């Protein structure tokens, strides 16, 4: 059901105030689960992650072969996951996070544990650079097991949008009034407009830069039809023809085409874009930490990752999976999604992360998009 | 609200005064769970929210317990928030009026002209859609009102309009329609409950005494169902102040309401900033409730008397 | 059309009311004169309340004509009719004080405030509730609520006051009080009262005239005395008061019309009644007209005497009720106590051979073929 605002805030504060109670009950569940599966080899661990980080059949297979059960809770976003982990700490064993959130928030706060990524046999299937990202490297080890990535692209309906755009500026063109669907993520929308105005470090903008961005947001507002609650909203709007321009991860042209929509094309704007790459982080003092390596060894194998690519359609860091895709006749799609161009693509994008201008960005967004 | 509870305790019946403490505690025991829920799930979080709202968030999204009025200043100095709250109230008021009007017509018909058994079935039919997910229902409205939606197809098919209209959804109209749809059942249930108890002979009596049907309605029926009307108002208007999913799904980029702005803070872990907005809305709701309650009580006394 | 001055207060001309196929009222014609206390009496479903609702304007006529003081009012809505109603459940407004309830109709007329105040005082005094003016209906007893309803309707000073079984919800003692009270108020205000009831005793005690209804028809209209003493048919006789019915047939004893009972006894009757030649007929005798005793009756009167056996003797307080089985049928006789205390005699009668007798001038021949109205519909309860 709907959560009214004060209920929402109530709930948030309840979480904070009743953390102890929650911890007790969660602990109880965990203990119970451990008791059920509690051999040295098997058990249940708690994982907060996005819905595209696992496939149910794969989880079932690991549960059947290794008696390891992943108890998954939905991760809504980096900031929310971070706030949640700060409350429950070791009640979770593993959590997913993006790019700079990993070192700047989770690690800086002492919530996660670095580990030797090379001690995981399956890590040899990764692109070597994925095991050596500077931002995820610390003297004590690597901060997360790399999973997927994508730059944010703009997609346009070829029949409706001309000439072919190459810039964020297309989103501001009055011709496209009410024809844009954009993610319901205020800080990202502000970041896009930061890019449009030529700012590079869009999560740490100065007041002057934000003032410029405000002007662009005001131009953007009338063009935005609605905010997408989830990626499928954008795809559906594009498919039905309601939207002519959307922003999103790699692979939307195929999703629209598969849904029977018009021809669309995607591009990375010439001003540069923001992007994300995510990793599975090991929570410090997680009760079921011992289960994580055995789980990752099974879950992250090339066959699983290739299947994940086919299902969820955005590139991943498993190099061996690329070969699997080639063998399966999916090389065309993998290439179009820049599967093996991660290093150079990510080098050109501003990685998502907590910034100094987050609060001001939200205030700015509210100011422009409020009544 | 708190003051009301205290007031109620002060008005405890005189017979209870002489009862020994132990017996008194035993009497209160059944209310313990309710008290725990109210204190634990409402008052404590509210107090926490109040405290948080005077703190701030640092760059690591940690809450810094340093007292500041900044969060409140932001709300009042940035005209967006006041304006959006005002807009939310205008839409909320409009939706409440339409909901009450439609729900009243339905409830009146059921209470007066339909046997109790069939009325119950009709109410059930009205409520059934609410067993499905909220999201699903709002998505359905996107499918109905959208450019390629059912409504446009029908209108174009009938030749009433030449091209699909973009005016049905992703604006305040869309929000309005969907909110009306979402809240009518609450209003209908509440109004039916109060109309069911009404003795409709009174309307005949009023007309017999020279009142036109409209005056009979106004002077006889309305005052007696006022508690129901006020409850229905509360059930519709106050939740709308907190609606953020519907406006963002069918209101589009131009239709955000106050709760959307609030949700944006929480989505980015800006808890104190969100808490201040949340608390202002909660305070506003509390004031409204007290005002409503006062009306309710006067009516209660009169009707009971 | 008749002039307003001489016209009856209420006039129904061939009024029919149908609900779909069901006929609630079938070509009823009726005149109620100004100032009458007119009673519509009958069992549940007889059409009496339908008649009242038609006059009040709460339901439309199917056909026929309704006149109030000579004016055709078929299509006039209730709030424009100079008629007010005391409802069966009183229908007081629970959110208004007693005074405001009484003032309601006056406010709807937009009378000046001081006039409203005066009338509210006047009518609350009329019903004896001056001290209750600030109470709310929820704080009143049934009898008090009844009086408020009366004051509220009368304060409008209507041409006709309609009362829909207003005493039905009261207990017996209160009902008796209110009967007296209503009669007093009627005399005092002089307004035409149209009173609906299924209680024959209420009708007899208060009404100036009674219309006995059954099955959507008016069976008989007359003063209480006319109807009690001269019921037109067995239904009316049975509905009004208690009656003995003896089967038999109309015959002649050579000296004039007579009725032959099933045991052969021939009872002289004053005139041969209409419509009794065909179909079944019965001889009706009121129980209080029946004498009973172990010896033969004394006195000069030419009584009819039959023999029988007293099968039940019941002491009823101010009278004793004696049931006698005769070969002409069962007869109930009432013996009122008073002048001579014959209690011992009565008790001795049980299971003894006794004589019963009556003055043939006090028996009436009634048609006995139509029992539908009396038997079936009486079971339906008090609502009409």
Q: What is the 3-state secondary structure (H, E, C) of C211-233?
A: EEEECCEEEEEECHHHHHHCCCE
Interface probe, candidates A3, A366, A368, chain B, greatest B C-beta count within 10 A: A366
- In which band, very low, low, confident or very high, does the pLDDT at B142 lie, cut at 50, 70 and 90? confident
Q: Specify the pLDDT at position C94.
A: 94
pLDDT digits (tens, 9 = 90+) for A262-281: 999 999 999 999 999 999 99
Quick one: which of C80, C91, C9, C16 has its CA closest to C54?
C16
DSSP assignment of B282-300, as one string? HHHHHHHHHHHHHHHHHHH
Whether residue C79 and residue B210 make contact (CB cut-off 8 A), yes or no, is: yes
pLDDT beneath 50, residues of chain C: 1-4, 276, 371-384
Which comes out higher in pLDDT, residue A283 or B129? A283
The answer to whether residue B120 sits within a structural domain is yes
Q: How far is the C-alpha of C127 from the C-alpha of C181, rounded, in Å?
A: 8
Query: Same domain, yes or no, for B29 and B105?
Result: no
Q: What are phi and psi of A218, to 5 degrees?
A: -65, -35
Position B214 pLDDT exceeds 80: yes
Q: What are phi and psi of B178, to 5 degrees?
A: -70, -40
DSSP assignment of B231-265, as one string? HHHHHHHHHHHT--HHIIIIIGGG---HHHHHHHH
Q: How far is the C-alpha of B268 from the C-alpha of B258, rounded, in Å?
A: 16
Query: Same domain, yes or no, for A128 and A77?
Result: yes
What does the pLDDT average to over B225-249?
Answer: 90
Position A15 pLDDT exceeds 70: no
Query: Same domain, yes or no, for B282 and B213?
Result: yes
Q: What are phi and psi of C222, to 5 degrees?
A: 180, 180
Position A199 pLDDT exceeds 70: yes
Quick one: which of A211, A251, A199, A242 has its CA closest to A224?
A242
Paired sense of beta strands C353-358 and C291-293, if any:
antiparallel
Whether residue B210 and residue C85 make contact (CB cut-off 8 A), yes or no, is: no
Closest partner CB to B215 (pick from C78, C108, C152) = C108
Q: Do chains C and B touch (3 or more CB pairs under 8 A)?
A: yes
Q: What is the mean pLDDT of chain B?
A: 84
Q: How far is the C-alpha of B276 from the C-alpha of B280, rounded, in Å?
A: 6
Query: Same domain, yes or no, for A22 and A108?
Result: yes
The answer to whether residue A365 sits within a structural domain is no
Query: Same domain, yes or no, for A143 and A157?
Result: no
Quick one: which of B97, B92, B91, B57 has its CA closest to B74?
B57
Q: How far is the C-alpha of B187 from the C-alpha of B232, rounded, in Å?
A: 5
Which chain B residue has its CA at the smallest distance from A87's CA?
B62
Q: How far is CA C303 from the centre of its chain?
A: 31
Counted domains in chain B: 2
Query: Same domain, yes or no, for B222 and B99?
Result: yes
Could you tell me what percent of chain A has a pLDDT over 70?
Answer: 89
The answer to whether residue B266 sits within a structural domain is yes
Q: How far is the C-alpha of B165 from the C-alpha of B173, rounded, in Å?
A: 13
Whether residue B253 and residue A226 make contact (CB cut-off 8 A), yes or no, is: yes
Burial class of residue B3, CB neighbours in 10 A (0-12, 13-18, 19+): exposed
Whether residue B204 and residue C83 make contact (CB cut-off 8 A), yes or no, is: no
Which chain C residue has its CA at the smallest distance from B301's CA?
C95
The answer to whether residue B217 sits within a structural domain is yes
Query: Which residues form the domain of B204?
Result: 78-304
- The sign of the torsion formed by the CA atoms of A93, A99, A105, A109 equals positive
Query: Same domain, yes or no, for A172 and A296?
Result: no
Query: Same domain, yes or no, for B299 and B245?
Result: yes
Are C33 and C62 spatial neighbours (Cβ–Cβ below 8 Å)? no
Other CB atoms closer than 10 Å to residue B22's CB: what's the count?
8
Query: Same domain, yes or no, for A114 and A217?
Result: no
Query: Same domain, yes or no, for A228 and A284?
Result: no
Q: How far is CA C16 from the centre of its chain?
A: 22
The answer to whether residue B114 sits within a structural domain is yes
Which chain C residue has its CA at the smallest distance from B200's CA?
C91
**CATH value at residue B271:** 1.10.3720.10
Chain B residues with CB-CB distance to C105 below 8 A:
209-211
pLDDT digits (tens, 9 = 90+) for B152-180: 888 988 888 888 888 888 999 999 999 99
Q: Which residues are within 8 A (CB) of A310 and not within 5 positions of it... i.e. 6 or more apart?
A: A325, A330
Q: Which residues of C295-316 are buried (b: 16+ CB within 10 A; e: fewer)?
A: eebeeeeebbebebebeebeee
Whether residue A17 and residue B45 make contact (CB cut-off 8 A), yes or no, is: yes
Check CB contact of B112 with chain C, cutoff 8 Å. no
Quick one: which of B232, B209, B236 has its CA closest to B220?
B209
ipTM for this model: 0.81
DSSP 8-state secondary structure symbol assigned to residue B41: I
- In which band, very low, low, confident or very high, does the pLDDT at A7 lie, cut at 50, 70 and 90? very low
Query: Same domain, yes or no, for A64 and A144?
Result: yes
Roughly what angle, to the nearest 10 degrees, separates helices A56-66 and A292-299?
A: 120
Asked which of A111-115, B80-84, C259-263, C338-342 is least confident by mean pLDDT, the reply is C338-342
Which chain A residue has its CA at the smallest distance from B87's CA?
A371
Query: Same domain, yes or no, for A217 and A171?
Result: yes
Predicted structure pTM score: 0.77
- In which band, very low, low, confident or very high, does the pLDDT at B270 lie, cut at 50, 70 and 90? confident
**CATH value at residue A46:** 3.40.190.10
Strand pairing partners for C92?
Answer: none
Asked which of A15-19, A251-255, C83-87 is least confident by mean pLDDT, the reply is A15-19
The answer to whether residue A308 sits within a structural domain is no
- In which band, very low, low, confident or very high, does the pLDDT at B12 lie, cut at 50, 70 and 90? very low
Check CB contact of A366 with chain B, cutoff 8 Å. yes
Query: Same domain, yes or no, for A116 and A183?
Result: no
Position B2 pLDDT exceeds 60: no
Q: How far is the C-alpha of C262 from the C-alpha of C265, rounded, in Å?
A: 7
Query: Same domain, yes or no, for A104 and A176?
Result: no
Roughly what angle, to the nearest 10 degrees, separates helices B172-196 and B222-241?
A: 140
pLDDT digits (tens, 9 = 90+) for A129-187: 999 999 999 999 999 999 999 999 999 999 999 999 999 999 999 999 999 999 999 99
Quick one: which of A99, A243, B211, A183 has its CA closest to C108?
B211
User: Domains of chain C, with CATH numbers?
Assistant: 1-82+159-233 (3.40.50.300), 92-157 (no CATH), 234-367 (2.40.50.100)
List of chains touching B (3+ CB pairs within 8 A) = A, C
Query: Which residues form the domain of A217?
Result: 153-272
The answer to whether residue A128 sits within a structural domain is yes
* A/B interface, count of CB pairs below 8 Å: 183
Query: Same domain, yes or no, for B130 and B273?
Result: yes
Chain B residues with CB-CB distance to C156 below 8 A:
209-210
Position A34 pLDDT exceeds 70: no
Q: What is the mean pLDDT of chain A?
A: 87
H/E element, A95: strand A94-98
Chain B residues with CB-CB distance to A367 below 8 A:
78, 80
Q: How far is the C-alpha of A15 from the C-alpha of B276, rounded, in Å?
A: 17
The answer to whether residue A367 sits within a structural domain is no
Query: Same domain, yes or no, for A176 and A291?
Result: no
The answer to whether residue A332 sits within a structural domain is no
Check CB contact of A105 with chain B, cutoff 8 Å. yes
Whether residue B201 and residue C91 make contact (CB cut-off 8 A), yes or no, is: yes
Interface probe, candidates B83, B269, B272, chain A, greatest A C-beta count within 10 A: B269
The answer to whether residue A346 sits within a structural domain is no
The answer to whether residue A264 sits within a structural domain is yes
Are A188 and A152 spatial neighbours (Cβ–Cβ below 8 Å)? yes
Q: What is the 3-state secondary structure (H, E, C) of chain C?
A: CCCCCCCCCEEEEEEEEEECCEEEEEEEEEEECCCCEEEEECCCCCCHHHHHHHHHCCCCCCEEEEEECCEECCCCCHHHCCEEEECCCCCCCCCCCHHHHHHHHHHHCCCCHHHHHHHHHHHHHHCCCHHHCCCCHHHCCHHHHHHHHHHHHHCCCCCEEEEECCCCCCCHHHHHHHHHHHHHHHHHHCCEEEEEECCHHHHHHHCCEEEEEECCEEEEEECHHHHHHCCCEHHHHHHCCCCEEEEEEEEECCCCEEEEECCCCEEECCCCCCCCCCCCEEEEECHHHCEEECCCCCCCCCCEEEEEEEEEEEECCCEEEEEEEECCEEEEEEEECCCCCCHHHHHHHCCCEEEEEECHHHEEEEECCCCHHHHCHHHHCCCC
Interface probe, candidates B39, B46, B56, B61, chain A, greatest A C-beta count within 10 A: B61
Query: Same domain, yes or no, for A11 and A73?
Result: yes
Q: How far is the C-alpha of B230 from the C-alpha of B299, rounded, in Å?
A: 10
Query: Same domain, yes or no, for B27 and B99?
Result: no
Q: What angle do CA A205, A211, A215 make, to 5 degrees?
A: 120
- In which band, very low, low, confident or very high, does the pLDDT at A364 lie, cut at 50, 70 and 90? very high
pLDDT digits (tens, 9 = 90+) for B34-78: 889 888 888 898 888 888 899 887 776 777 888 888 889 888 988
Q: Specify the pLDDT at position B5.
A: 36
The answer to whether residue B52 sits within a structural domain is no
The answer to whether residue A8 sits within a structural domain is yes
Query: Same domain, yes or no, for B6 and B140?
Result: no
What does the pLDDT average to over A338-352?
Answer: 90
Q: Among residues 71-90 of chain A, which lie with CB inside 8 Å of chain B?
A: 76-77, 79-80, 82-83
3-state secondary structure (DSSP) of residue A316: strand
- The sign of the torsion formed by the CA atoms of C69, C71, C77, C79 equals negative
* B/C interface, count of CB pairs below 8 Å: 67
Query: Same domain, yes or no, for B272 and B198?
Result: yes
Counted domains in chain A: 2
């Amino acid at each position: 059901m709907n959560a009214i605002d004060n209920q929402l805030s109530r709930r948030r504060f309840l979480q904070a105030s009743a953390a102890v109670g929650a911890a007790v009950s969660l602990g109880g569940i965990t203990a119970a689960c451990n008791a059920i599966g509690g051999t040295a080899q098997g058990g249940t661990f708690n994982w907060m992650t996005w819905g595209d980080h696992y496939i149910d059949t794969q989880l079932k297979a690991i549960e059947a072969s290794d008696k390891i059960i992943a108890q998954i809770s939905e991760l809504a976003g980096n900031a929310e996951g971070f706030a949640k982990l700060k409350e429950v700490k070791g009640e979770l064993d593993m959590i997913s996070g993006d790019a700079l959130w990993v070192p700047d928030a989770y690690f800086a706060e002492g919530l996660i544990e670095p580990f030797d990524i090379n001690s995981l046999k399956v890590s040899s299937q990764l692109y070597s650079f994925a095991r050596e990202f500077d931002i995820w490297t610390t003297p004590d080890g690597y901060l997360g097991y790399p999973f997927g990535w994508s730059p944010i692209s703009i997609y346009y309906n070829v029949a409706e949008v001309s000439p072919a755009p190459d810039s964020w500026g297309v989103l501001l063109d009055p011709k496209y009034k009410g024809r844009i669907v954009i993610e319901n993520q205020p800080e990202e929308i502000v970041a896009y407009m930061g890019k449009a105005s030529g700012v590079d470090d869009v999560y740490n903008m100065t007041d002057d830069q934000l003032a410029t961005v405000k002007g662009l947001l005001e131009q953007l507002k009338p063009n935005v039809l609605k905010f997408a609650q989830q990626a499928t909203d954008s795809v559906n709007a594009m498919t039905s023809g309601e939207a002519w321009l959307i922003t999103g991860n790699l692979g939307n042209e195929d999703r629209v085409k598969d849904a029977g929509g018009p021809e669309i094309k995607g591009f990375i704007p010439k001003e540069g874009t923001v992007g994300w790459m995510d990793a599975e982080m090991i929570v410090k003092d997680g009760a079921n930490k011992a289960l994580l390596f055995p789980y990752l060894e099974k879950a992250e194998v090339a066959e699983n990752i290739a299947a994940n690519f086919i299902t969820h359609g955005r590139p991943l860091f498993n190099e061996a999976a690329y070969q699997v895709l080639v063998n399966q006749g999916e090389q065309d799609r993998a290439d179009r999604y820049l599967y093996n161009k991660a290093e150079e693509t990510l080098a050109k994008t501003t990685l998502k992360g907590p910034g100094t201008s987050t609060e001001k960005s939200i205030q700015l967004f509210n100011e422009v998009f409020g009544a | 609200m708190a003051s009301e509870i205290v007031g109620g305790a002060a008005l405890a019946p005189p017979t209870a005064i002489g009862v020994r403490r132990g017996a008194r505690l035993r009497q209160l025991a059944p209310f313990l769970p309710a008290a725990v829920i109210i204190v634990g799930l409402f008052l404590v979080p509210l107090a926490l929210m109040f405290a948080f709202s005077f703190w701030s968030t640092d760059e690591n999204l940690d809450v810094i317990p340093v007292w500041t009025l900044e969060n409140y200043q932001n709300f009042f100095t940035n005209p967006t928030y006041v304006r959006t709250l005002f807009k939310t109230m205008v839409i909320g008021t409009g939706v409440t009026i339409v909901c009450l009007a439609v729900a009243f017509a339905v409830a009146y018909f059921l209470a007066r002209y339909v046997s109790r058994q069939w009325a119950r079935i009709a109410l059930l039919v009205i409520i059934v859609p609410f067993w499905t997910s909220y999201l699903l229902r709002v998505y359905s409205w996107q499918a109905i009102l959208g450019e390629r939606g059912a409504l446009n197809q029908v209108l174009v098919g009938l030749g009433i309009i030449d091209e699909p209209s973009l005016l049905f959804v992703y604006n305040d109209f869309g929000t309005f329609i969907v909110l009306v749809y979402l809240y009518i059942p609450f209003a209908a249930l509440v109004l039916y409950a109060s109309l069911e108890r009404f003795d409709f002979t009174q309307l005949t009596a009023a007309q017999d005494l020279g009142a036109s049907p409209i005056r009979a309605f106004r002077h006889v029926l309305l005052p007696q169902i006022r508690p129901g009307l006020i409850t229905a108002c509360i059930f519709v208007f106050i939740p709308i102040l907190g609606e953020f999913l519907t406006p963002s799904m069918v209101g589009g980029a131009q239709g955000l309401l106050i709760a959307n702005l609030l949700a944006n803070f929480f989505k980015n872990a800006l808890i104190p900033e969100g808490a201040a907005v949340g608390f202002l809305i909660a305070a506003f709701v509390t004031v409204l409730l007290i005002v409503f309650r006062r009306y309710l009580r006067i009516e209660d006394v009169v009707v009971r008397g | 059309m008749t002039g307003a001055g001489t016209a009856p207060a209420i006039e129904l001309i061939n009024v029919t009311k149908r609900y779909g196929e069901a006929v609630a009222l079938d070509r009823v014609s009726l005149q109620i004169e100004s100032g009458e206390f007119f009673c519509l009496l009958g069992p549940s479903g007889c059409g009496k309340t339908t008649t009242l609702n038609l006059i009040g304007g709460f339901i439309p006529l199917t056909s026929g004509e309704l006149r109030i003081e000579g004016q055709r009012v078929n299509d006039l809505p209730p709030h424009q009719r100079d008629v007010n109603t005391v409802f069966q459940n009183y229908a007081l407004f629970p959110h208004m004080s007693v005074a405001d309830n009484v003032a309601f109709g006056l406010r709807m007329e937009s009378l000046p405030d001081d006039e409203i105040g005066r009338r509210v005082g006047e009518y609350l005094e009329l019903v004896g509730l001056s001290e209750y003016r600030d109470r709310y209906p929820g704080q009143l007893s049934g009898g008090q609520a009844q009086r408020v309803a009366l004051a509220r309707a009368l304060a409008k000073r209507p041409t006709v006051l309609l009362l829909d079984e207003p005493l039905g919800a009261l207990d017996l003692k209160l009902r008796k009080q209110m009967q007296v009270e209503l009669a007093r108020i009627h005399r005092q205000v002089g307004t035409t009262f149209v009173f609906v009831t299924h209680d024959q005793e209420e009708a007899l005690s208060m009404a100036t005239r009674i219309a006995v209804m059954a099955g959507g028809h008016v069976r008989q209209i007359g003063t209480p005395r006319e109807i009690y003493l001269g019921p037109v048919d067995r239904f009316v006789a049975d509905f009004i008061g208690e009656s003995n019915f003896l089967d038999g047939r109309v015959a002649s004893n050579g000296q004039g019309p007579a009725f032959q009972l099933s045991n052969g006894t021939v009872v002289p009757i004053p005139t041969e009644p209409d419509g009794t030649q065909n179909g079944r007929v019965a001889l009706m005798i009121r129980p209080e007209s029946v004498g009973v005793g172990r010896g033969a009756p004394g006195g000069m009167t030419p009584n009819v005497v039959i023999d029988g056996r007293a099968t039940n003797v019941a002491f009823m307080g101010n009278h004793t009720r004696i049931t006698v089985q005769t070969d002409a049928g069962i007869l109930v006789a009432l013996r009122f106590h008073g002048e001579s205390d014959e209690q011992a005699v009565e008790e001795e009668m049980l299971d003894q051979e006794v004589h019963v007798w009556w003055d043939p001038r006090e028996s009436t021949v009634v048609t006995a073929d139509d029992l539908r109205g009396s038997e079936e519909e009486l079971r339906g309860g008090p609502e009409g």
